[in-house]
Chains A and B, each alone.
Chain A
Amino acid sequence: MEEKENLITVNIDGQDLQVPPGTNMVEAAAILGKEIPHYCYHPKLTIAGNCRMCLVELGMPGRDRATGEPMVNEDGTPKIMWMPGPAIGCGTKAAPGMHIKTDSTKALESREAVTEFLLINHPLDCPICDQAGECTLQEFSSSHGRGYSRFIEKKNVKPKRTRLGPRVTLDDERCVLCSRCIRFCDEVAGDSVLGFTDRGSYSTLTCFPGKELANNYSLNTVDICPVGALTSTDFRFKMRVWFLKETNSIDFETSVGVNMVVSAREGTIYRVKPRRNDRVNDTWMPDSGRELYKQVESDDRLTKCTIDSLATSAVDAIAKASECLQGGGVAVVGSGQCSVEEQFALKAISDGIGAKGVYLVARYGKDDGILMSVDRNPNVRGALMAGLVNDLPDEQLGELGAKIDSGEVTTVFSVKEDLIAGGLTEDQVGKVKIVYLGTHENATSSRADVLIAGLTQFEKSGTVINQQFRLQKFSRVVPGPGGAIEDLYALATIQANLSGESFPSTIGSLWKQIGIEGSVFEGISFQSLSDQGEILDGSAFEHFSFREGKSLHFEPKKEAFAIE
């Protein structure tokens, strides 16, 4: 095989493969669809090389000692000098001409040996272990184990059910000492609280006494634990994982747009885990984002539409809302929590009624430099790119308040935003007619003349645009409450009512409009948008003073800071 520029040719089980420099053999084999089993190796952590599961045979083209010339076989091919002992795939980086064997007798024997060693002191009680079904040790034991035990000695005894922190529980007997969790805390979370104490087979994963694994990334240790040692206190023993159906979604907490996967069974969500995106969140996500699903069934959930506080059907509520918005003097409060599609529909409404102002409410929090950005709205950039607003939002709706006070605004259509929390006074809110589309009770929902119960992010699909101007999609995980209506459908119907023309009410049909020629969305459709998202041209907004600082895969534009 000819060497392409910057690529290195290696040979795996007889097959040549070109890989970028620095590629390790676990990753290289994966390109060929071959799994080199491993526990301690993690693509986003430093190499520890301690589990020894990924041992393979390794050879390099030989060179004559005397002449330094490459040695060749009779057929002219390079003569490969195989190392006497196996080498770890994870710690072996591609070198020109490198050969590995992943399925030779030596490699298979090594796996069998390591598997047996890992099992001798491991409890063999998969049926009562919460990790069962997604346990690497369980899987590899069946594929690489000898199938019976030769160990008749007493197993080591270690602490069980240790509370490591508010969200993580540890069973030390199940720990295979791979050190992934320790490396994660040291290298990613920047909160070194975990370590091994004691030595040899008695080594024990421990949190320093009196300290806790409490940082906002603690549950990532559970995700990367290859066995049932670290478990989520929230999730453990709630549901067998093989019953769960997984759906891709996005963490709505901040403008980082962390990719996640949501697991549900029969309309109930059980847990949220990060989904790998090497350009956004690697394989990590904040703990706080995993709690978001709890809003779905929270006590303050709006499950019915109302007109003048009396329950009504969604159809009637939408009709009434359309009526309210026709009279002029209407201001629109959109939201950075809405999807791009909703913002697009809201923009159409605002334009059609000649709104007396369109606002968003900014939310700012503390930047943690990892995956929690300052901007706690997931989609402010969506509102900008949809043209709903032309500038970064303020945290307070002061201008709207003034317009209410002056009588210019007599009706407010708020989507998802609580006007009181947004800074309007009780008095101001009392002066106007309110149409509210939202999901949870708040001061605005209780005062709304027309209330349309909408859906949470877990009950609908759509797209959001993160701090990198990356358009990312999220999908419906569970159905919404019976009395609620999909936000986009509500907005589209209102727009149709107001304009007398049809407006696309499904995501697929709306994208035909969003992705029209000349727009930044040109050529994109919801269907074709990849799970890793797509970067949009955000150059039109370069002069904006976005507040996000540096985080995992984000570098703020310097000019933006200069304006600050």
Chain B
Amino acid sequence: MNLKPETLAEIEEAIPKYPEKQSAVMPMLHAIQKDQGLLTNEAAEWVAAKLEIAPIHVLSVITFYPFFRQHKIGRRHIRICRTLACAMAGGAKVCDKMLSEFDTGLNEVSSDGEVTVEFAECLASCGTAPVMLVDDEMYENLDEAKAQEICEKIKAEVMQA
């Protein structure tokens, strides 16, 4: 495990916050996923060793929670809400727009490695449906035009980088 110093620091800070060490599984997984982009079996074993639990207990946690992943995704993570309020407000069309703009398929990494577009369950912003998360940023009241703007913005950021 080749973790960044700040990731290690975050982990060391998280563990003593809890009365029992195992509680630090999720904070550790969040930190490692942020660092490495995904959670490998090696990461599961590393977390398990650190918390003195069995690796299977870490793996069963990783696979339970949809926001933990064992696969690579694009540099930008686009998650469009698919639950009822957003679906009624046209979430599916927004998703289609994102997919066609980036010329990729659902849950795939776009061929340029730039984005992964997924559906997510209710993002708890139903009043401004449809919504999506681009990484940690929430975009609301979407339609195809707004989706296009967001795509262009992402593409522009790529060009800059």
Q: Specify whether A and B are partners.
A: yes
- CA of A207 to CA of B41 in the docked complex: distance in angstroms? 12
Within 8 A of B (CB), among A79-103: none
Q: Is the CB of A199 within 8 A of B63?
A: yes
Residues on B with beta carbons closer than 8 Å to the beta carbon of A207 = 56
A208 touching B56, Cβ below 8 Å: yes
Q: Is the CB of A209 within 8 A of B41?
A: yes
B60 adjacent to chain A (CB < 8 Å): yes
Query: A207 to B59, alpha carbons, bound, how many Å?
Result: 10
A192 interface hit (Cβ, 8 Å) = yes
Chain B residue contacts of A210, Cβ below 8 A: 41
Q: How long is the Cα–Cα vector from A209 to B45 in the complex, in angstroms?
A: 10
A71 CA to B45 CA, complexed, in Å? 58
Q: Mark A174-207, 1 if CB is under 8 A from B, else 0.
A: 0000000000000000001111111100000011
* Residues of B contacting A198 in the complex (Cβ-Cβ under 8 angstroms): 63-64
Q: What size tier do the contact residues of chain A reach? A: 10 to 19
Distance in angstroms between the alpha carbons of A192 and B45 in the assembled complex: 13
Asked if B21 lies at the interface with its beta carbon under 8 angstroms from chain A, I say: no
Complex interface: chain A residues within 8 A of B64 (CB):
197-199
Is B59's CB under 8 angstroms from A195's CB?
A: yes
Q: Is A193's CB under 8 angstroms from B54's CB?
A: yes
Residues of A within 8 A of B55 (CB): 208, 211
Interface size on B, residues (CB 8 A): 12
Docked-complex contact A195 and B41, CB < 8 angstroms: no
Least CB distance from B93 to A in Å reads: 27
CB-based contact A192/B63 at 8 Å: no
Interface residues in A210-224 by Cβ distance below 8 A to B read 210-211
| Complex CA distance for A208 and B45, rounded to whole angstroms | 9
Interface residue B57 (Cβ < 8 Å from any Cβ of A): yes
CA distance A208 to B57 in the complex (A): 9
Residue contact B56 to A192, C-beta cutoff 8 Å: yes
What is the count of residue pairs linking A and B with beta-carbon distances less than 8 angstroms?
Answer: 37
CA A211 to CA B55, docked complex, whole Å: 9
Instruction: Tell whether, in the assembled complex, residue B63 and residue A193 are in contact, meaning their CB atoms are under 8 Å apart.
Output: no
Give the distance in Å from the alpha carbon of A193 to the alpha carbon of B48 in the complex: 12
Enumerate chain B residues within 8 angstroms of A208, measured Cβ to Cβ: 41, 44-45, 54-56, 59
Q: Are A206 and B41 in contact (CB under 8 A)?
A: no
B57 cross-chain contacts in A, Cβ below 8 A: 192, 195
A207–B60 Cα distance when bound, in Å, is 10
Contacts of A192 in B (CB 8 A): 53-54, 56-57
Q: Which of A385-428 contact B (CB under 8 A)?
A: none
Report the separation of the CA atoms of residues A206 and B41 in the bound assembly, to the nearest whole angstrom.
13
A202: shortest Cβ distance to chain B, in Å?
Answer: 9
Instruction: For B65, give the chain A residue with the smallest CB separation.
Output: A199
> Which residues of B, 60-118, contact A by the 8 Å Cβ criterion?
60, 63-64
Q: A residues within 8 A CB of B56?
A: 192-195, 206-208, 211
Residue of B nearest to A197 (CB): B63
Contacts of B41 in A (CB 8 A): 208-210
A194 to B59, CA, bound (A): 10
Instruction: Assess whether B60 is in contact with A196, with CB atoms less than 8 Å apart.
Output: yes
CB distance from A158 to the nearest CB of B (A): 14
The chain B residue with its CB closest to the CB of A194 is B56
Cα of A197 to Cα of B60 in the assembled complex, Å: 5
Chain A, residues 266-289, CB within 8 Å of chain B (1/0): the string is 000000000000000000000000
Smallest beta-carbon distance A348→chain B, Å: 54
Return chain B residues, CB-CB under 8 Å to A197: 59-60, 63-64
Complex: how many Å from CA A211 to CA B44? Answer: 13
Using a CB-CB cutoff of 8 Å, which residues 408-452 of chain A contact chain B? none
Give Cα A210 to B48, complex, Å.
14
A337 to B41, CA, bound (A): 46
The distance in angstroms between the C-alpha atoms of A211 and B56, with both chains bound, is 9
11 contacts between A and B (CB under 8 A): A195-B56, A195-B57, A195-B60, A196-B60, A207-B56, A208-B41, A208-B54, A208-B55, A209-B41, A210-B41, A211-B55
A-B pairs, 9 with minimum CB distance: A192-B54, A195-B56, A197-B63, A195-B60, A208-B56, A208-B55, A198-B63, A209-B41, A199-B64
